[in-house]
Amino acid sequence: MMIHQGQSKESQSLFIADSNQILCETLRESLQHRKFIVSGFAIDGREAINQIRRLSPTASIISSDLAFFDGLEIARSAAREELDTLVILITESQEAVRQLMMAQIQVAGHLHKGFALSELFYCIQEILSGRQYISPQLNSMLMSLEDEEVKEYTPTIKLLKSLTNREKEVLKAIAKSYTTPKIADMFYISAATVNNHRANIMEKLNIKGRNQLISIALTLKPFLEQAA
């Protein structure tokens, strides 16, 4: 989403989603005190995504622990549907951070659950200026997880050299969640040939099953880009 230079704060609407209604109301009052327009809030994920679709807020402050649809699912839907909103995701556990990293979903802002209001205001200022903001606590978690992932998959990374260029291209496409027909169209090959490449990749990388293939493809995506 593009924020035009010179756009006034009063024209930038915000949406809040958290399971704690009192927190939603407190944040709304604090943001309104800062002259932001708060277009609404929701206490469950289903209501949140529906309101975001309807209201198109400039930015959406979304907690990861919502009922029905959690914050990660809302961020994924916003990206897939190209909704015109900047997502600020609020998470707490390392597992939630891991899921976001593995899903390869880009959010405009990422705050730790225990954020101070001053940090939220700074985060909003940063993303409305076109810059991503990640809280220091979560940034440390991400760096730690990235180190763990690299160590865990180091043997597999070395095995990438055994793949042909076409197999690497197919693995990159799998990391982007492309379907077999789409991969076939991309490379002007048949679906059967795509399946053969997939089988060869799984054999060479010692992968057991489709879920593990997708997980490893996502983890190795940066290394595949470097190898391109």
DSSP string, 189-216: --HHHHHHHHHHHHHHTT--SHHHHHHH
Task: Provide the residue ranges of all domains of the chain, joining segments of one domain with +.
Answer: 9-148, 153-227
Any residues with CB less than 8 A from the CB of 161 and at least 6 apart, and which?
none
Q: What is the pLDDT of residue 5?
A: 41
The Cα-based distances of 118 to 7, 9, 27, 112, 125 in angstroms read 22, 17, 12, 13, 11
Residue 86 has a pLDDT of 95
**DSSP letters spanning 52-94:** HHHH--SEEEEETT-SSS-HHHHHHHHHHTT-S-EEEEEE-SH
Q: How far apart are CA 182 and CA 194, in angstroms?
A: 10
Determine the Cα–Cα distance for residues 142 and 112; give it in Å rounded to an integer: 12
Sheet hosting strand 37-42, strand order edge to edge: 37-42, 13-17, 59-63, 86-91, 109-112, 133-134
Mean pLDDT by 10 residues, the chain (228 residues): 45 92 95 94 96 96 91 88 92 69 73 90 92 82 60 61 90 87 93 94 88 80 64
Phi, psi of 41, rounded to the nearest 5 degrees? -150, 160
What is residue 42's three-state secondary structure?
strand
Give me the pLDDT at residue 99, please.
66
Residues 145 and 147: their CA atoms lie apart, in Å, by 5
What pLDDT was estimated at residue 134? 85
Tokens 């209604």 — which residue? 21
pLDDT of the residue at 2: 40
CATH number of 153-227: 1.10.10.10
Fold of 9-148: Rossmann fold (3.40.50)
Residue 112: in which H helix or E strand, if any? strand 109-112
What is the pLDDT at residue 4?
A: 38
